[in-house]
Every structure is written in structure tokens, then in C-alpha cells.
């Protein structure tokens, strides 16, 4: 039988692994979304922000560009 701290450590490692995979997938998703946009004034700037700031840049892009675009589409 394994010690309880071994199970806790394994659970923590699993949680961190899932969190890292989520961050990487979200980063790629936002980068691809930015690259696919046709009418976008600051496309190069946002691509650089996403690449150099990583997950934080992807979060900024999501809340400042993508969610604003969704709201604009639903108001029409």
C-alpha cells in the first residue's frame, strides 16, 4: 500500500499536467484564430503579443478582441 502523500503527489502532478495541456491548447487556438481573421487592423501586433507573452497574451487576445467581436456579431 502506498503512503497517502504519494497519492496526493500523483494527483497534483496529474492536475498540473492537465492544466498545462489546457494552456497550450488555448494558446494555439487563439493564435490560429488571430491568423485566420481577414479584417483585422492590428493583426501583426496581436500575433507578436500572443507569441511573446504566451498564455497571458492569449488571454488578453481572447478578452480584448475575440469576445468583443462576438458581442458585435450578436447585436446585429
User: 52 lies in a domain?
Assistant: yes
User: 7 lies in a domain?
Assistant: no
The whole-number average pLDDT for the span 6-13 is 93
Reference 60, options 14, 26, 15, 10; nearest CA is 26
Q: Which residue has the higher pLDDT, 47 or 75?
A: 47
Instruction: Tell me how many domains the chain contains.
Output: 1
Q: Which residue has the cell 478582441?
A: 65
User: 49 lies in a domain?
Assistant: yes
Q: Does residue 69 surpass a pLDDT of 80?
A: no
Give the separation between CA 36 and CA 4, rounded to whole angstroms. Answer: 48
Q: Which long-range contacts (C-beta less than 8 Å, at least 24 apart) are formed by 55-58?
A: 55/23, 55/26, 55/27, 57/30, 58/26, 58/27, 58/29, 58/30, 58/31
User: 17 lies in a domain?
Assistant: no
Q: Which domain holds residue 49?
A: 25-76
pLDDT of residue 11: 94
Amino acid at each position: 500500500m502506498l503512503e497517502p502523500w504519494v497519492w496526493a503527489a500523483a494527483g497534483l502532478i496529474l492536475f498540473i499536467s492537465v492544466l498545462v495541456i489546457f494552456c497550450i491548447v488555448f494558446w494555439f487556438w487563439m493564435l490560429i484564430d488571430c491568423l485566420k481573421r481577414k479584417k483585422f487592423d492590428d493583426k501583426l501586433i496581436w500575433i507578436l503579443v500572443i507569441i511573446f507573452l504566451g498564455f497571458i497574451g492569449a488571454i488578453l487576445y481572447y478578452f480584448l478582441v475575440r469576445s468583443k467581436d462576438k458581442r458585435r456579431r450578436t447585436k446585429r
